[in-house]
Structure 1
Amino acid sequence: MATKKASPTWSDVKGALSNFDRAALLALVQGLYAGVKENRDFLHARLDLGSDVLGPYKSAIARWISPDVYRNQGTSVSKAKKAIADYKKAIGQADALVELMVYYCEQASGFCNEFGMEDEGYFDALVRMFELALKTSSSLPEIERLALRERLAAVGYTCHNFGYGVGDEMDDLQEKYGLNN
């Protein structure tokens, strides 16, 4: 009787998959697809299926970074950032990745502006995402970069309403990455 590893690795999985025929492999993928929503989202993104591949990722960001306060939903920076990381694992196209980052910033700033927020960790995460969006957008063609940075400039402007120096930090970042205020 073969002993099983406590923590199988990708090599173990790859070895087991090499024994599958096409039908068995398709059945496995179908099981993964049917079993977990995140697997469906991953496959849709990886295979570029559907008209709005970013939709599920944006929904997750909005749910966790800009929750429905009337339903007593809480925020979770880590779960909102996980949606971006999940998309990056699925396909990670730079333009769509920056779109998700900018969307995160827009949702967070809109939520804070409407409902107020006094969570320094939330603000720190917003500023870090803002900088990451600016940095990542620099690899995009100019026309795409300018449109995204225009949206980020609007976020920075809104963030002056919050206190905690958030708007000032965003001004500094925009200057660092060559945006004129």
Structure 2
Amino acid sequence: MTKQTFTLTDLKKHLAQKSKEQLIADIAELYKTFSPVKEFYQAQHADISEIAKKYKDIIIKEFGGTGRGFPKARFSVARNAFNDFKKLTNEPALIADMMLTYVESTSGFCSEYGPDGEEYYTRPENMFTQALQLIQTHKLLEDFRDRAYSIVRNATEGYGHRDSLRDSYDDVYA
């Protein structure tokens, strides 16, 4: 016996058979049951700053810790928080803000703890470059100039981290 997958086409056919009231009830149930659905609708129809704060806090906590003990510093957690947030909005300024939060947190971790591993330096450098490209593409340079410079100024010298960030900064702001 073959198990058939429920495709998007199947879903559309299924939903087309429902009344408006049934669809509203289904969506309301999804909204109550699944927090990503709630966040999706909140991001589309309300102030997204509360949602942005939630995802920023995840990133900051991962690399800054809670004040007790060594931070876990898992790139997967920070990256997933960023990607989940990015699914909720197409607003370049909000995405750039989240990207810079990622860079500030991971780069700050490097300055504080000096981890021995190149990825701790290259990952924030790559995200910084991507953030600056997004900022430049959407003509948000002045909005983020001071913050971007602060990231460079506060970066550690380890593994050429500050120099790499400065090069990316100079490519966009010089």
TM-score, scaled relative to structure 2? 0.84
Structure 1: state its 5+ residue gaps.
none
Give runs of ≥4 in structure 1 deviating > 4 Å. Answer: none
Aligned to 1:152: 148
1:61-140 residue pairs with structure 2 within 5 A? 61-68=59-66, 70=68, 74-140=72-138
Counterpart of 2:163 in structure 1: which amino acid?
D
Q: Which AA in structure 1 matches 2:164?
A: E
Inter-partner Cα distance in structure 2 for 1:6 and 1:121: 42
More displaced stretch, 12-21 vs 69-78? 69-78
- Deviation string, structure 1 residues 38-95 (Cα, Å, up to 9, x no partner): 3322221122346534222212222334333625652221221222222222221111
Of all paired residues, the percent bearing the same amino acid is 25
Deviates more, 1:15-24 or 1:3-12: 3-12
- Number of matched residues? 174
| Deviation readout 1:134-166 (Å, 9 max, x if unpaired) | 00001334xx4223132111111222x240111
> Once superposed, what is the RMSD of the aligned Cα atoms?
2.5
Moved more, 147-156 or 49-58: 49-58
Q: Which amino acid aligns with 1:81?
A: R
TM-score w.r.t. the length of structure 1 is 0.81
Q: Residue 79 and residue 10 in structure 1: after superposition, are their counterparts in 2 closer, same or farther (change >3 A)? A: farther
Distance 1:5 1:88, change over 3 A: farther
> Could you tell me how far apart the structure 1 residues matched to 2:62 and 2:38 are?
20
Which has the larger share of helix? 2
Instruction: State the alpha-carbon separation in 2 of the partners of residues 136 and 50 from structure 1.
Output: 20
- Give the 3 Å change call, closer, same or farther, for CA 140–114 of structure 1 in structure 2: same
Does the 8 A contact of 2:157 with 2:163 survive in 1?
no
Q: 1:172 pairs with 164, 167, 170, which one? A: 167
Pick aligned residue for 2:35 from 34, 37, 47: 37
- Opposite residue 43 of structure 2, the aligned amino acid is A
**Paired residue secondary structure (1:68):** coil
Within the candidate set 5, 16, 22, 1:18 is matched to 16
